Amino acid sequence: MPNIRQEVFTSIHEQWLSQTIEMAVENVKNGGGPFAAIVVRDGKIIGKGTNQVHVLHDPSAHAELLAIRQACETLQSIDLSDCVLYASGEPCPMCLGAAYWSTVGHIYYACGKQEVSEQTDFQNPLDRYFTDQKLPGDQRLVPFVQVTCKNALAPFYEWQKTTEQK
């Protein structure tokens, strides 16, 4: 017997994602990138975003990151734990990071990075940057170097003072 509850559940996610995908199509028509995302809470959209990287000259203006920022502004809180993030494409490590910092409850996405590169002309030359995050800093494409500084921990000690006053 099919699991009806599971089917209904999946169908809701598919509806939100289809709407998100349509936003992404519209965004391309308006000169943006082929990505969109929404943040949903209690069945309502509280944050929307489409890829605006080239429009805004902002490498962080990915759909997911903008949707998360708008949702947090709506709630005046950085806690999205009771929200769901829907993304038309598989979120990149930066967007996944923003989602984690917002403690968003669930992430659903429609097409995977591999499908996009295999089935369309859309290629991302920067993906190679993300594969070497596990390498030692000096072997990465972008060298990542720790420098010894005497006052390196000063900001945290200052932070400690403010928390002690509370």
Does position 37 interact with a second copy (CB under 8 A)? The reply is no
* Per annotation, catalytic residue among 64, 118, 158, 164: 64
Q: Which of residues 4-33 bind a second copy (CB under 8 A)?
A: 10, 13-14, 17-18, 21-22, 24-25, 27-29, 33
- Helices 63-75 and 93-101 cross at an angle (nearest 10°) of 10
Our CB check for a second copy shows the closer of 42 and 65 to be 65
Which secondary-structure segment (H or E) carries 158? helix 154-165
Here the tokens at position 161 are 């003072």
Does position 151 interact with a second copy (CB under 8 A)? The reply is yes
Our CB check for a second copy shows the closer of 44 and 157 to be 157
Q: Are 136 and 117 in contact (CB under 8 A)?
A: no
Total number of residues binding a second copy (CB under 8 A)? 87
Here the tokens at position 1 are 């017997």
Here the tokens at position 37 are 């995302």
- Which sequence positions are flagged as catalytic? 64
